[in-house]
Amino acid sequence: MSNLVPMQLARIIKSDISDNQVIYLKEVDGERQFPILIGYFEATSIDLRVTHAERPPRPLTHDLIVGVAQSLGAKIDCVVVTELKDQTYFALLRLQRDGESIDVDARPSDAIAIAVSFQPHLPILVASEILERLAPQ
């Protein structure tokens, strides 16, 4: 895989009049940023975690994923946005278990919702080719 660039969640834009919500990822040590269109549920889940709002009494889907990984003895290590193809981003959750790295295919929105459910947030890494295509230096 290419060089990976550390990013952080910069903004969440929620709209009640549109099905598409937007999150912006921004370079940790730079100025490049880009939007990812996501669904309402994912935007709400990310917003709940970032604003530290009270969580529902029962686990949401993203909490369930974290719980399953932990129950199987895995540690969620980071999120990697790997590719941009036909205006669709691809990502994975990188887990560690018994010294082995396990990559699990995920939508970026779900992966980021999981990343921000941890304190501190898990690293969000983006393939450098994506940033070069979107915002050449």
Is the pLDDT assigned to residue 91 strictly greater than 90?
yes
Cβ-based neighbours of 63, under 8 Å, separated by 6 or more: 55, 117
Is 0.75 surpassed by the pTM of this model?
A: yes
Domain ranges, ordered by start, for the chain: 4-134
> Is the separation of the CB atoms in 23 and 38 below 8 Å?
yes
Is the pLDDT assigned to residue 2 strictly greater than 80?
no
d(CA 92, CA 79): 6
pLDDT value at residue 1: 57
Binned at pLDDT 50, 70 and 90, residue 56 comes out as confident
Average pLDDT over residues 5-22: 91
CATH superfamily of 4-134: Bifunctional nuclease domain (3.10.690.10)
